């Protein structure tokens, strides 16, 4: 909940500009972009995710380093479980 999860925007949903498909360590889920409406990410951008919402845009290098931080904190597995849990039973 407190540590941010880095993800790459794969596509913006066609019917809802506040929803995007994101990829985190090979797992793809929908996240909410509503809190980045002043600086909307586009496909290919990296974001930090908290509880299913993109909170900030970051560089690819920072995203990879954040994932490494989660690994050495022993939190990477938990982060991927969290991402898998987004969207309840929806599985892409």
Partner 1 sequence: MRFVDEFREPELISRTAEEIRRLAGTELHYRMMEVCGGHTHAIYRFGLKDILPSNIELIHGPGCPVCVLPMGRIDDGLAIAQQPDVIFAAFGDMMRVPGTQGSPLEHKARGMDVRIVYSPSDALKLARLNPEKHVMFFAIGFETTAPSTALTMMRARAEGIRNFSVFCNHVTIIPAIRAILDSPDMRLDAFIGPGHVSTVIGCRPYEWIAQNERKPIVVSGFEPLDLLQSIVMLLRQLNAGEARVENQYKRVVPWEGNHAALRAMAEVFQLRPYFEWRGLGFISQSALRVNDKYAEWDAEQRFEVPGIRVTDPKAAQCGEVLKGVLKPHQCKLFGRECTPEHPIGALMVSTEGSCAAYHSYEHRKAAMEPSLTSIA
Binding site for partner 1 (CB under 8 A): 1-4, 32, 34-38, 48, 50-53, 55-56, 58-59, 62, 65, 68-69, 71-74, 82-83, 85-88
> How far is residue 35's CA from residue 64's CA, in Å, rounded to a whole number?
22
CB of 10 to partner 1, least distance (A): 18
Q: Cβ of residue 40: shortest distance to partner 1, in angstroms?
A: 10
Distance of closest approach, residue 13 Cβ to partner 1, in angstroms: 13
Long-range contacts of 65-72 (CB under 8 A, 24+ apart): 66/4, 66/5, 66/6, 67/6, 67/25, 70/3, 70/5
């Amino acid at each position: 909940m407190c540590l941010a999860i880095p993800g790459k925007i794969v596509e913006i949903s066609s019917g809802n500009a506040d929803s995007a498909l994101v990829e985190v360590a090979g797992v793809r889920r929908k996240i909410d972009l509503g809190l980045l409406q002043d600086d909307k990410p586009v496909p290919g951008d990296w974001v930090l995710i908290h509880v299913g919402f993109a909170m900030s845009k970051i560089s690819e290098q920072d995203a990879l380093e954040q994932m490494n931080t989660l690994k050495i904190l022993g939190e990477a597995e938990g982060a991927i479980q969290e991402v898998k849990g987004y969207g309840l039973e929806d599985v892409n």
